[in-house]
A and B are shown apart, each in its own frame.
Chain A
Amino acid sequence: MKQLMLGNAAVARGLYEAGCCVISSYPGTPSTEITEEAVKYPEIYCEWAPNEKVAMETAFGACLAGKRAFCAMKHVGLNVAADPLFTMSYTGVNAGLVIGVADDPGMHSSQNEQDSRHYARAAKVPMLEPSDSAEALEFAKLAYELSEQFDTPVLLKMCTRVAHSQSIVETAPRVEPAVKPYEKNIGKYVMMPGNAIRRHPFVEERTRKLQAWAETASIDRVEPGRDHKIGIVTSSTSYQYVKEVCGDTYPILKLGMIWPLPDQKLIDFARSVEELVVVEELDPIVSNYCSALGLAPSGEYDLPRLGELSQNIVADRLTHTFPMGRTIDDPIPPRPPVMCAGCPHRGLFYTLSKNKCTVLGDIGCYTLGAVAPLSAMDMTLCMGASISAVHGFNKARGAEAESRTVAVIGDSTFMHSGLTGLANIAYNQSNSTVIILDNSITGMTGHQQNPTTGRNIKGDPAGKIDLEALCRAMGFERVRVVDPYDLKATDAAIKEELAAAAPSVIISRRPCALLKYVEHSAPLAVDPVKCVGCRSCMKIGCPAISIKGGKAQVDATLCVGCGVCEQLCGVKAFRSTKKEG
């Protein structure tokens, strides 16, 4: 059946059709929907793992047990899971194992722009790279064939424009592969030096075999062109931009497997054209590879190494023409994302800003605490870094820093990689203050459950980690819970814990304002007679409050009545719109 399908949904469909049985993932844009779509197929067991390393190892265990398995993550997630990946390359697989990794060129929702193709090369595992939904489905299935045929994990690489674009796919029924018997094989699966030394030659040989396979496989195909002045090597969404601009003017070598590369095919293609051009997003990986083969791609067509490509960028380099648009003279103010009205994080960040704290932050909705007018964050690096860094900061600067520096970390991020940092504080003893922003969900990536929420990926009851008990068990004697809607209590907690001569954890607890089960109060309104236009309530950056005609005004369609603004008003101008009685 023909359907318009999101790239990520097409991957999920491909996994389903290939008979995948176990999926363990950690959310991350733009990879999240693969697992969210896969969970709709009852034949596949799906879960959210606490982080990508756990997800990948879980998938590995399932493949070892003889069932086709999968894990998905965003590009930076592969950094976290790199450790198992590099050694899984040596062990190989039992049943097929596919790893979905989604890059985010242009950094639509990421902290960096790394190119995950480097991992395929570095870990010596094959990587397939679809250019639309139909290929996403097809490649997911092919990935399992390759995984089992060549005894290797296979990387399936997506990027934002393939993951989050819908195009037409043709679906097929699921094929249920027989469970592979599990056989103990210490030489293959126990990677200690003696065994690993014997596996490494296998890895090198496997790459040569995959290369030989790619020489004749249709996944790396030559599309003929009329004009042999240039020949273009390309893949993924870059291929779509090239087709958009050039149609079938120039010959194209379209790579579906980005690692390893077919040397002879590249050489033959280069010989068939006057000049070789490589069109690839981010790092010059294929380009450098061609250079190493002595094929010297033309420098004249060099592409930017920053951000996404587009048809205009490709047109600019290849044909030197592209359309221009019209503009108006007025500056257009940006519209950055903001914390929702009633977001529980807001009260906490207001309090940190008021106390002039140095805030070592982390990644999640709460990173928006760095945005004006709150501007209450000093650092964001990678998941979990807040806690480790506050310890380092305090060790470097001593008591003076300990009295005003905090780490802030979300519940999902804490479970992902905050625990080990906390263990370091407990063990090496800095008087650090760690604030866990427990909004009972993984907000930033679109509201996924996590080990602290008590629900699994389907929303069914599941195990629930008790954060207070966990911190106490690690040796923290000062563990307290505050409601961030209560500014006075939040302020007191922060002041006391910063002053304390002991490490402490504050759990700022209040569910995300967008969760369905949360019951909101009636919106507030401002009494224009009482309001003196002092803008005190504007310090929290709630999108529901604005100043119109010198007076504060609340947008009743946005306000959820959290009451944080009201606590800042010195003249009691706010009132509830709740009907009495």
Chain B
Amino acid sequence: METKNIMIVGVGGQGSLLASKLLGHLLMEQGFDVKVSEVHGMSQRGGSVVTYVRYGSKVSSPVIDRGEADYIVSFELLEAARWLSYLKPDGQIVTSTQQIDPMPVITGAASYPEDLVEKMRAAGAKVDALDCLALAEEAGSAKAVNIVLMGRLSHYFDLPDEAWQKSLEAIVPPKFLELNKRAFELGKKA
């Protein structure tokens, strides 16, 4: 199978680590070769963060380059727009509608672009945007945004529900499992 590419983008501290862990587990269980790549360090102090997940029969490069992403999963709107050029022509964006002002916007040196979802669509991208923060809070914790997004992403995958459930059970600590299962369902059904 040709290599498929998923990018997870967001703001440092938003929980992309658990999302990539879940995908890594899920895809390995399906028998794929998998590579997951992220940059630790400076980017974690509230900076822009990106994780690359690649899977297929044999994966070589650990990173995803411009024009290659089948999916961009985004925790934050501006970050979806920042990485837009990485999307394949027929790629799919799944994004939370949350907006977090970066420091240059806070200080007034730059402004946060308006109507990003519409603009990305106008540029020809398929965008699935939903208020993941509200859904996560409905599930019981604002921290579950990552799993809401995974639930939403599962829509686009041809994998049985049990496979996702099994990986959730393997990755999420038992204490938070019920909460995260709810978050997954809410994302999936939204």
Contacts and interface: CB of A to CB of B under 8 A. Distances in A.
Interface of A: 2, 4, 29-30, 32-33, 108-109, 132, 160-162, 164-168, 237, 240-241, 243-244, 310-312, 322-340, 365, 368, 371-373, 444-446, 538, 541, 543, 545-547, 557
Given A240-B62, A338-B103, A323 B68 contact: yes
Chain A binding surface SS class: loop
Nearest to A247: B60
B188 interface: no
A385 to B, nearest CB: 19
B134 interface: no
A399 B79 CA distance: 49
A311 B81 contact: no
A335 B36 contact: no
B65 A322 contact: yes
A339 B45 contact: yes
A2 B24 CA distance: 13
B4 interface: no
15 contacts: A4-B36, A164-B37, A165-B38, A165-B62, A167-B33, A244-B61, A310-B63, A328-B122, A330-B119, A333-B102, A333-B111, A335-B47, A337-B45, A338-B47, A373-B107
Contact of A538 (B65, B66, B107, B111): B107
B78 interface: yes
B42 A337 contact: yes
A240 B37 CA distance: 13
Interface in B34-51: 34-48
A211 B142 CA distance: 58
Given A109-B42, A165-B37, A541-B107, 15 more contacts: A4-B34, A33-B40, A109-B41, A160-B39, A167-B34, A168-B33, A323-B68, A327-B85, A328-B120, A328-B122, A330-B113, A333-B78, A335-B46, A335-B79, A336-B104
Nearest to B34: A4
Nearest to A328: B119
A237 B42 contact: no
Contacts of B159: none
Contacts of A328: 81, 84, 113, 116, 119-120, 122-123
A538 B42 CA distance: 23
A446 B40 contact: yes
Given A326-B85, A330-B113, A335-B79, A340 B34 contact: no
A312 B87 CA distance: 14
Contacts of A165: 35-38, 62-63
A244 B60 contact: yes
A30 B78 CA distance: 27
A170 to B, nearest CB: 13
Interface string B108-119: 111111001001
B28 interface: yes
A310 B104 CA distance: 29
Contacts of B110: 331, 333-334
B85 A108 contact: no
Nearest to A107: B42
B91 to A, nearest CB: 9
Given A108-B42, A337-B46, A326 B34 contact: no
A30 B119 CA distance: 36
A164 B102 contact: no
Contacts of B33: 167-168
Nearest to A325: B85
A271 B46 CA distance: 52
A325 B86 contact: yes
Contacts of A237: 61-62
Contact of A325 (B44, B63, B84): B84
Interface in B90-107: 101-107
B115 to A, nearest CB: 9
A169 B106 CA distance: 44
Interface centre among A29, A30, A167, A324 (most CB of B within 10 A): A167
Contact of B61 (A311, A326, A331, A365): A311
Contact of B106 (A29, A166, A311, A543): A543
Given A322-B67, A328-B119, A337 B44 contact: yes
A312 B65 contact: yes
B135 interface: no
Contacts of A168: 28, 33-34
Given A108-B43, A340-B45, A340-B46, A332 B88 contact: no
